[in-house]
Each structure stands twice: as structure tokens, then as C-alpha cells.
Structure 1
Amino acid sequence: MSAWVSSGCSHSRKTCRLGALAIQNCPWCVCVCPGALPGICSCLEYLQNFYNLTTTTRSKHSIHSKLKEMQAFFGLKVTGKLDSDTMEVMKKPRCGMTDVHNFRLPSRFTVFTLVTDYRIVNYTPDLNRGSVDHAIHNAFLVWSHVTPLRFTKVFSETADIMIMFRSRYHGDRNPFDGPGRILAHAFFPGPGIGGDAHFDEDETWSANSQGINLFLVAAHEIGHSLGLDHSSDRNALMFPSYTYKNPNGFQLSKDDIRRIQALYGKSMKSRIFSFHPPCQHVHLMIAD
């Protein structure tokens, strides 16, 4: 997820400061002068990280095409221009996994067995250990209650899914970016770090609406660990952008259920169940 930035724009600093109107009509102005508009200078980086734009395909046409692809995915008006709605989406906190994939799931990896273990390697200082344990446990429950999957926590040995909090460069070629935007990333099932989930320690993690809710992000990342890619369904847990939802009454979308059951099958458990994060009773409902 290495970042690259190139202006590719012959416009003057003054022109680049004209605002969204000038940028909308200049596809090359997707990365402009420092101090122009918040988020503009990271547009090329965004398209590279999440839409497979490469340093060898950064022509005006390819940038236009990737912008259209991104806009279509997020349900925006497809213009191929960096308009204000597109910039707003790009500035939102989100998962670090890409939104497009060039592979089919069965040929890319083997999904986990029905009994899978996980380990929390380290803890964020933002929450007490009990709150982290509850958030991660409940995030796994989201998926085990709609599939035959069962998850067991281990405390020392290497687990199928290793969960850790890390900052910036942390050894997997996918560095975090500090507070904001990229919140976490995970790896599809496979050898080595396959299945692991990493959370950006530079975020402020919480058990409520303050900061970033750990349960919501963990449930999303575990979806990746189990083999799901991003969904363009705004109601889906696997939608890439973060939006706080009250865990009390959290509802997994039909899209999430359909896709995870395509990999692992259906659960014989009740469709409605409860769990208990610290300090509150949470009722989790699964959409039929």
C-alpha cells in the first residue's frame, strides 16, 4: 500500500486554489499544490490504494476511469471528475483493504475450517483489557451466529487469526497513516499472515460512539479474515467506509449473510440472540 503522489498538473498554485470548480474540470488536478483543499492531494493515493491505479497507468484517461469506478461503487453520480461528493467520501475513515479485486474467491484462497482460533496479541491503551476482549468476542459472534463457524480464543500460541494493534510501518508492507482515514486492515485466509487483522493504534478506540468503535471495525475486519471482500451495499457491515451504528440492535445485512453463507453454509442457531459488552446489554439481530 505504498503511497505515491504526482501532480501531473501544469496549473499554477493560484489556479489550484480556485476550489472544487477548477478541480472538477481538470482531471489532472486530482493532486494539487499543498494547502489547496483538504483531501485533494491524496486522491491519487486513494485510487492507487483502493482501485488499483498504478504508477504506470496514471494517464488522464486512467484516472478518469478509476474515478468513475470509485463513484459507481459508492453510489455517487458517475462523472469521472473529482467533485465535492467524491472528495467527501475519500475523506471518510475506512478500512485499508481495496474495493476491487481481480480474483475469484475459490481460486484465491482456502477458507477456514469450521473451528477456528484467534489470539489478541496486544491491547490498545484506549480501552481496558476486558472491553477489548468483549468487543473482539462479540465481533466473532456476528459471524458465528449465521454460519457453522466456531471461534476459540487462545493466549500464547500462533492462532489462525492473530489480532494486533500497530502503528505506521509494522512489517506487512501495508503501513498505517496515523489518525484518521485508514482504521484497520486484514488478510484473506491463507498461510503466514493470512487471516490476521491489524488495527491502527493511532486511532482512538472506544466501546461507544466516541472515537472509533472497536466492535464495529473488528466485525468488519473479521469478515475479511474469513474471506469476504468489500460490499457496495451501504447497509452492509462490509461496506468500506466507517459509520457509527449503535451496537445495541446491530443488524447484519442480507448481503453480508448471503455472502458469508456462500463460503461456510448456514447456521442452525436462532436468528436473534443477545450478548453483553461491558456496561450495556446488546441485542444483535440478524436480517432474514
Structure 2
Amino acid sequence: MAQYFQLIISCISLLFLLFLLPSNSEKPLSFQSLKHLKGCQKGDHLEGLHELKQYLNKFGYLNYHSSKAHDDDDDFDDFLEAAMKTYQANYNLNVTGTLDSETLSKMVMPRCGVPDVINGTNSMQTNRKAHHHRGRKEFHTVSHYSFFQGSLRWPAGKTHLTYWFDLATTHQDSIPPFVRAFDKWASNTQYFTFSETQDKESSDIKIGFESGDHGDDNPFDGPGNVLAHAFAPTDGRLHCDSEESWSIGAIPNYADLETVALHEIGHLLGLDHSQVQDAIMFPTIPLGAVKDLHADDVQGIKALYNI
């Protein structure tokens, strides 16, 4: 009997995939294009290094508005090395400034489109304090969760949030994973409650599947790269890339929709990215993986809303 039900679940998941498989077979520039740069370091000049710079610029680590930094050349300069070191520190990697194997493996993983560094503020490091010990500077983590600059949150007393699905872009089978994700945040925080509404204008949260440039200044980049993004309170927009291969549950080479929904709802509530790899707010998620809320996520919400 158990095998029978498992077969039914598998069939439903595969049916869901058929509806959401990418319709465009022509892939845009992929993070995978960084692989040939493995081992590069300061002083190198390699064809394609500008793609590494563009990656780090996309997620806030480089600022090319500065006249001293150039994103269109292939020189591994001081600015790129500094950006690499910040990235490695954020992801608990060896801080070498070199594109080593571990750093490359992290960079080519699918991830959230929300930058790790916003307007020069590295929220993933804001909860770390420096202490000196026998002449060495050591960092002791006070907490791993982080908030958006200004600790943006929903107004006091606004504990019930409504969400609306753009049914012109959202398939019916993708709705239950979102509902389960909202329920998990509600039950674990014991603060927020959520309900679906059909009224777009009055809704607090608006959810849709988009592709490419969809009008929010955060264009999607096609299959396998940025999976989704959401905005800090009280914006309420949450967008998933319709060109991704989505699944319900853990299926190799597919992105679990409920896992991604949990992460993006965290942003909607005011959490930024966490340094805890097991936390739902960690920026990357391997294809085929399923994650749930972590104590770090719940503690972050409780700290943000003083509950």
C-alpha cells in the first residue's frame, strides 16, 4: 500500500514538472561558465574573468559605479580580490581571494536573486564582532541571521498577511507548496498568520512566475541560475523564474518549490541572508535538495519583531 501511494505522489510530481519545464531551449549565460576560471588569482589575465566580475557585481560584492573598477576587462585586480575575500567570508570558506574549488562550487549553485551586499552593506557580516586574542583578530559570531538595512518589517500589529497568486503566470499545482510554506512560518513563529485572497489590490503579498526582464529591475537569467527573488517589507512581491525546472519534493536536477518558497517568504517578512548553511535563509540551494525552517530562521524573526 505504501508503495502504491509513493507511486501516485511520484506521478503527481512528474505531472507538475511537465507543466513547469522551461519552454525556451536556448540557455542564457550560465554561472557554469565560471568553471574554466578555476584557480585564478590576483595578477592573472584570463579570457572570461569579466564574467566573474559580473557575478560578484550582481550580488553586491563589486561596485562598478566607481571609476577605478572595471567590469568589462579580464584582469584579476585588487578590487576583484577584495570582493572574492568578502564572498568567501560570507560563505564560511577559506578566505584566500583565489577562485579555488570550494568557492567555485558554491558560486555555480542555484541561488536566490537577492544580493548578499546591498548598497555597500554586507548584512551577512553585521552580526559578527571582532575580538583580539594574543595579537590575532578573531571573529565570534553573535548570531547568523540578518536583516535588511534599516531592519525593515511589517508594522506593529500587522500580524495577518494575505497573499495573492497571479494565475496568469502561476499553475494551480504550484499553489499548495506555497500554502504549506506559509503555514510553516505561521506555526513556527507563532506570530504571523496568512490567508489567500483573490483581491490583488488589497493583498499584502503578490506571487507570480516570471521570466527575463519582467519589470522590477531584477531580470531573471534562465534555467539553473537565480531561482527566485522577493522584496523586503512592505513591498510584498515574490517572483519565481518560470524557466526553472520546478518539482514538488526532492527530484535530482529540479528545484523544490516549497524550499524556495520558504526562503523567499523569509525575505518578505524581513530576513536577509544567513551564514548558517542549514538555515532556509542561506542564499544557495542545490538542485534536488529539500530544506525546512531552521532554529536560526525562527530566532531571526523573533528578534526582528521582538517576540
TM-score, scaled relative to structure 1: 0.73
- Give the conservation status (yes or no) of the 8 Å contact 1:139–1:219: yes
**Equivalent residue for 1:172, pick from 216, 238, 248:** 216
**Equivalent residue for 1:243, pick from 267, 273, 286:** 286
**Cross-structure match for 2:162:** 117
Number of paired residues? Answer: 233
**Cross-structure match for 1:160:** 204
**Equivalent residue for 1:256, pick from 280, 297, 300:** 297
1:124 CA drift (Å): 5.7
Q: Deviations over 1:201-224 (max 9, x none)?
A: 000111022311110001100000
1:155 CA drift (Å): 1.3
1:180 partner letter: G
1:208 partner letter: G
Relative contact order higher in (CA < 8 Å, ≥ 6 apart) = 2
Distance in structure 2 (CA, Å) of the matches to 1:123 and 1:134: 17
C-alpha spacing 1:258/1:181, structure 2 compared with 1 (3 Å): same
Distance in structure 2 (CA, Å) of the matches to 1:100 and 1:160: 26
**Equivalent residue for 2:57, pick from 42, 45, 48:** 48
C-alpha spacing 1:86/1:189, structure 2 compared with 1 (3 Å): same
1:157 CA drift (Å): 2.7
SS at match of 1:44: helix
**Cross-structure match for 1:96:** 113
1:263 CA drift (Å): 2.3
Moved over 4 A (4+): 103-106, 244-247
Distance in structure 1 (CA, Å) of the matches to 2:57 and 2:37: 23
1:105 CA drift (Å): 4.6
Within 5 Å, which residues of 2 pair with 1:171-210? 171-190=215-234, 194-210=235-251
Within 5 Å, which residues of 2 pair with 1:208-223? 208-210=249-251, 211-223=254-266
C-alpha spacing 1:105/1:19, structure 2 compared with 1 (3 Å): closer
- Give the conservation status (yes or no) of the 8 Å contact 1:122–1:165: no
Distance in structure 2 (CA, Å) of the matches to 1:123 and 1:265: 38
- Give the conservation status (yes or no) of the 8 Å contact 1:50–1:98: yes
- Give the conservation status (yes or no) of the 8 Å contact 2:255–2:288: no
Q: Deviations over 1:133-184 (max 9, x none)?
A: 2101011112111221010100133211100000000000100001111000
**Cross-structure match for 1:58:** 69
TM-score, scaled relative to structure 2: 0.69
